[in-house]
Structure formats: C-alpha cells, structure tokens
C-alpha cells in the first residue's frame, strides 16, 4: 500500500499500481480522455482468485476479484494524473469474466467493480459497461477490466 498517494480524498486506500505485463504503458491520456490498460486482480505482486467463476471460484469470489481489479484501475489513474482534480469521471468499463460453460451472470460479477467505483468516486464513478464471458484470461486471471475515463480539459489561457 502507498502511504501517501493522492487518493486521500477518495476515502479509500489504493494499492500500488501493478506494472505492465509487457511492452506497453499502464495509462495513456490524450484530448480529454484516458485509456487504462487491462487490469486484473493483482495485489502486492500476486494474482488473486485465479480460475473461472462456476468452477474454481464462487460468484462471491468473482465479485471480490472484480473489486480488486477495480482498485487497480483507480491506482493506475491515481498514478497517471497529477491530482484527482484533473479527473473528469469514468466513461466505459469493459469487463471480461473467466466463466464456466453455462455460467451467464457476468453482470452480477462486474457489479463488484461498479459498486466500488460508485463508493470511491460518487457521481464521477458512473459509467457505461459491457460484460463478457471468456473461457480463460491471460495469466489465468478471473476478471479483466478495460476502462476509459475523462480528464478535466482546460483551454490554456494563452489560446483565448
């Protein structure tokens, strides 16, 4: 855990953001939008809740996994922005859930992430969402979140 991150105002403690799993950036920001790389339920360098909901995991464990992945999304935004004053709100959450064949309640699992975003961000946590079921995810993760957010864009005074 980061003792002094910028998230004091969020009212929740954020983990250290996980490093990328390959040759890419954790977050790209451009033109008022931010693009967060896929986040999985890693904590302190260990991937938690591996496997599929409906086989290795219960729905409750799946929701807990979604919550940890959501905390990592917030940790990445926290690191990428100079301050949360620059944050303009979530826009889209795409959630992939590794699932047993026949388990089709992925929305229930992803509500674990959506509720955490609401608790941490209030109105700025509102988002559109798309849920998907997959047989497996990279590294055998149970949940992966792909998030797009808005930044506060200000027209520099020099342009007026």
17 binds a copy of itself (CB under 8 A): no
Q: Which residue has the tokens 């509720």?
A: 115
* 78 or 144: CB nearest a copy of itself: 144
73 binds a copy of itself (CB under 8 A): no
Task: Compute CA 152 distance to the chain's CA centroid, rounded to the nearest angstrom.
Answer: 19
Tell me the three-class secondary structure of 64-125, residue by residue. HHHHHHHHHHHHHHHHHCCCHHHEEEEEEEEEEEEECCCCCCHHHHHHHHHHHHHHHHHHHH
- Alpha-carbon distance 133 to 120, whole Å? 26
101 binds a copy of itself (CB under 8 A): yes
91 binds a copy of itself (CB under 8 A): yes
- Give the residue, chosen from 19, 31, 45, 82, that forms a contact with a copy of itself under the rule CB under 8 A: 31
Binding site for a copy of itself (CB under 8 A): 20-28, 30-33, 35-38, 88-94, 96, 99, 101-102, 104-108, 110-111, 114-115, 118, 126-140, 144, 146, 148, 150, 153, 155, 159-160
């Amino acid at each position: 855990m980061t003792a002094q991150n910028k998230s004091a105002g969020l009212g929740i403690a954020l983990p250290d953001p996980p490093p990328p799993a390959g040759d890419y950036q954790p977050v790209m920001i451009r033109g008022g939008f931010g693009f967060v790389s896929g986040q999985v339920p890693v904590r302190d360098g260990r991937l938690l809740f591996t496997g599929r909901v409906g086989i290795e995991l219960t729905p409750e464990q799946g929701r807990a996994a979604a919550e940890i992945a959501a905390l990592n999304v917030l940790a990445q935004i926290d690191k990428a922005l100079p301050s949360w004053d620059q944050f303009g709100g979530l826009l889209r959450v795409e959630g992939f859930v590794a699932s047993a064949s026949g388990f089709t309640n992925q929305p229930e699992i992803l509500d674990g992430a959506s509720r955490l975003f609401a608790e941490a961000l209030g109105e700025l946590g509102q988002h559109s969402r798309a849920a998907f079921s997959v047989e497996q995810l990279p590294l055998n993760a149970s949940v992966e979140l792909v998030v797009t957010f808005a930044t506060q864009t200000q027209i520099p005074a020099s342009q007026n």
